[in-house]
């Protein structure tokens, strides 16, 4: 009898150690800590709810400080006149921002089959200089390596060496991609990596742009991060849309729960941990039941 009771106690101790080990492993997993941290960062750093009240004027609403990188397609399909309209769109976007070293910093990544960083976040801290730099951008004229452009922006344009503020300052990092075609390389994985690094991605499609690719690139919710216009001739209409999106509206913030990749990954890993723990509980419960039956027969 004593040996059976000792066996029961050993099973209970085993169960307790398994629970503690499982909890310790999952709670201390650096990936899960990073996932929780990033999910919280994205939840806190999301743009305010859009205020579509036409009575609001620019003087009542200013853009939140950002490290903003435009990623613009200048492949062969973008005609010279159309590319000029893209540059006009960028200039009008600059007009809506609070540009400055302590406000919004702007960079431009130009791409086709190659990628060219036209200027970095650390180069221009006032609107006139920014708009002059934009006016000097020339199209590259071949290919559509969108994935390479996103990777270049993540690894080179959004670094502290290039003028991005350190993570401790909690400055939003935003990329706005403008394209009229289908990427000739993979965009899904590199876009997920960029989003996981803390970059909020808006995708603007024009004319022949591939909607699926836009959705793969953009942050969620997609309805707030994917835009489409039929021609470059009307792309300037998006300036007002982005002003609403990037505005520090004073209206009450109503936000959906975060559905970002990091939180989903954390949920999946937690589910796996619970499944493993459930299996261990079932195994130990079976042992205890068998031992109780043996005690009963004795």
pLDDT in tens, 197-256: 999 999 999 998 999 999 999 999 999 999 999 999 899 889 988 888 877 543 333 333
Q: What is the bridge-based pairing of β-strands 115-119 and 105-111?
A: antiparallel
Going residue by residue through the chain, which has 298 residues, state the pLDDT in tens, using 9 for 90 and above: 555 545 555 555 555 454 444 444 343 444 533 443 343 234 334 333 333 333 344 444 566 799 999 999 999 989 999 999 999 999 999 999 999 999 999 999 999 999 999 999 999 999 999 999 999 999 998 899 999 999 999 999 999 999 999 999 999 999 999 999 899 999 999 999 999 999 999 999 999 899 999 999 999 999 999 999 999 989 988 998 888 887 754 333 333 344 455 555 555 566 666 667 777 777 777 778 777 777 766 6
pLDDT of residue 289: 77
What b/e string do you get for 66-105 counting C-beta neighbours within 10 Å, with b at 16 or more?
bbbbbbbbbbebbeeebbebbbbbbbbbbebbebeeeebb
Q: How many CA atoms lie within 13 A of 1 on its CB side?
A: 3
CA distance 258 to 238: 25
- Give the pLDDT confidence score for residue 24 in this predicted structure: 43
Whether this prediction's pTM lies above 0.75 is answered by no
End-to-end CA distance of the chain: 8
Q: To the nearest 10°, report the CA torsion of 110, 115, 116, 120.
A: 80
Q: From CA 184, how far away is CA 164, in angstroms rounded? A: 29
Q: What are phi and psi of 52, to 5 degrees?
A: -95, 15
- Rounded CA separation 133/129 (Å): 6
């Amino acid at each position: 009898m004593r040996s059976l009771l000792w066996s029961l106690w050993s099973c209970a101790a085993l169960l307790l150690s398994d629970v503690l080990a499982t909890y310790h492993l999952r709670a201390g997993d650096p990936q899960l800590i990073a996932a929780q941290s990033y999910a919280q960062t994205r939840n806190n750093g999301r743009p305010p709810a859009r205020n579509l009240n036409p009575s609001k004027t620019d003087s009542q609403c200013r853009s939140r400080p950002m490290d903003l990188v435009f990623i613009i397609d200048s492949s062969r399909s973008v005609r010279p006149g159309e590319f000029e309209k893209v540059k006009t769109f960028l200039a009008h976007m600059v007009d809506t921002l609070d540009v400055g070293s302590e406000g919004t910093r702007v960079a431009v990544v130009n791409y086709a089959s190659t990628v060219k960083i036209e200027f970095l976040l650390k180069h221009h801290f006032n609107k006139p200089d920014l708009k002059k730099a934009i006016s000097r951008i020339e199209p590259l004229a071949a290919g559509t390596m969108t994935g390479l452009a996103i990777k270049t922006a993540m690894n080179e344009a959004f670094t502290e060496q290039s003028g991005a503020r350190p993570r401790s300052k909690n400055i939003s990092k935003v990329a706005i991609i403008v394209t009229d075609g289908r990427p000739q390389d993979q965009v899904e994985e590199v876009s997920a990596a960029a989003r996981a690094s803390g970059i909020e991605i808006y995708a603007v499609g024009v004319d022949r742009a591939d909607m699926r690719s836009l959705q793969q690139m953009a942050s969620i919710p997609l309805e707030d991060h994917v835009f489409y216009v039929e021609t470059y001739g009307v792309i300037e209409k998006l300036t007002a849309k982005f002003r609403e999106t990037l505005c520090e509206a004073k209206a009450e913030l109503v936000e959906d729960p975060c559905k970002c990749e990091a939180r989903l990954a954390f949920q999946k890993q937690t589910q796996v941990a619970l499944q493993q723990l459930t299996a261990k509980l079932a195994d130990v419960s079976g042992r205890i039941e068998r031992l109780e039956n043996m005690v009963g027969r004795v």
